[in-house]
Structure 1
Amino acid sequence: MKKILFAVLLFLLSATAFADTVSINRFIIKENPFARQEIAVVATDTADHILENVNGRFAFTINGFSYNLNFQNGTAFVRQKLEKSSFMYVKHANESGTHSVLYYVYKSDDKLTPIRISWMWLVAIPLLIMFAGYLFKRFLVIAAVILIIFIYFNYHNGLSIPTFFESIFDGLKHSLMG
């Protein structure tokens, strides 16, 4: 009888050890509805519906700074005010890999508008500028000036060169992996 009781107890304990853990594989950035000039990170599924079963603390990296965000019903608030429009590179690592998203958060008056930036645009814009400069030789200097302005705009708004390339490589990696 003791062996059966011990086996049942051992089975129950092992079943709870293998319980389904909640992980964040996709997320979006939204304006925090409860605080001005702050953002919220929202855990979503592939159809961008909020995963309300996500609760607890999860480690995120935002523009190179580490944050332990407290998720409640799929939403966590970043308690850092944005003073101006800027790029936000948000990254989260879990058991299934590293997930990252690049946003440009446009600030107008008291409203924040996050715009998701695809890695394809980061590649396409400089290539189009260089191609136009190559195609029309007399516009080569203008194309170089536009490319320098593009790089300056990105850097001035918080998108450094290493983050620029990291975002492109993460996008390539995720598009090739599926």
Structure 2
Amino acid sequence: MKRIWYALILLLLSVSVSRADAVSINHFIVKENPFARQEIAIVATDTANQIQENINGHYTFTINGFENDLVFQNGTAFYRHKVNRSAFMFIKHQSESGTFSTLFYIYKHGDKLSPVHISWVWLVAIPLIIVFAGYLFKRFIVIAVVVIILWMYFNHHNGLSLSTFFESIFDGLKHLITG
């Protein structure tokens, strides 16, 4: 009888001491949802873009400023909102190890969706190149101003607000500095 009690106490102690670490999502990509038209799927990946199939459960993501509770199964969660036209999507996830955000352009052609990752470097480089070209060629300064205004209108019309633009740049710089 003593052996049973010792075994039971040992079992309870081992269960209370051993605990699984919470799996966090530190990197993710966006793909077209293969099961629904005009919807996307968020896939938890490692830094080499390999799917982390051990991610299961509820995770909170902020998509274009709206908080969503996504259910991951085998590393994939489905965002159940239709994408009616091409648009920018700023997706942010905050976990215990930090905040991870990525800007995507969801290009819609026909019934297909093609997500394109937009790096913060391009958000800085494109306006700087246009301004620099306008500065180099004084005759083209008006054209450079018109191109910048058209670029800003395109971004705003497709859902990239000024706050999202700068937040994406600052998050990229923060991860560049912190590693």
> Normalising to structure 2: TM-score of the pair?
0.94
Q: What corresponds to 1:36 in structure 2? A: 37
Q: Which range moved further: 1-10 or 97-106?
A: 1-10
Distance, in Å, in 1 between the alignment partners of 2:139 and 2:113 is 40
Q: Percent identity?
A: 64
Unaligned runs of at least 5 residues, structure 1: none
The structure 2 residue matched to 1:15, chosen from 5, 15, 18, is 18
User: Aligned partners of 1:84 and 1:14: how far apart in 2?
Assistant: 51
- Distance in 2 (CA, whole Å) between partners of 1:14 and 1:70 is 28
Could you tell me how far apart the structure 2 residues matched to 1:91 and 1:155 are? 19
SS at match of 1:13: helix
TM-superposition CA deviations, 1:39-70 (whole Å, max 9, x none): 00000011101111100000000000110000
Stretches of structure 2 that go unaligned for 5 or more consecutive residues are none
| 1:152 partner SS | helix
Mapped partners of 2:134, 2:13: distance in 1: 71
Count of residues in correspondence between the two structures: 176
1:25 aligns with 2:5: no
Q: In the TM superposition, what is the alpha-carbon distance from 1:8 to its structure 2 partner?
A: 5.7
Structure 1 distance, partners of 2:32, 2:11, is: 49
Shift of the alpha carbon at 1:6?
4.4
**Distance in 2 separating the partners of 1:8 and 1:106:** 55
Aligned residue type for 1:15: S
Within-5 A mapping of 1:134-149: 134-149=135-150
**Equivalent residue, structure 1, for 2:98:** 97
Amino acid at match of 2:81: Q
**In structure 2, distance between residues paired with 1:146 and 1:133:** 10
Q: Which string of whole-angstrom CA distances, capped at 9 and with x for unpartnered residues, describes residues 16-44 of structure 1? A: 2xx22111000000000000000000000
Amino acid at match of 1:10: L
Structure 2 letter corresponding to 1:80: H
Shift of 1:11: 3.8
The normalised TM-score by structure 1 is 0.94
Which runs of structure 1 show a deviation greater than 3 angstroms over 4 or more consecutive aligned residues? 1-8
Match of 1:79 in 2: 80
Aligned partner of 2:122: which letter? Answer: W
**How far apart are residue 12 of structure 1 and its match?**
2.7
CA distance in structure 2 between the aligned counterparts of 1:34 and 1:128, rounded to whole angstroms: 41
Opposite residue 104 of structure 1, the aligned amino acid is Y
RMSD: 1.5
Distance 1:4 1:34 in 2: 49
Shift of 1:10: 2.8
* Partner-residue secondary structure (3-state), 2:18: helix
Partner of 1:160: 161
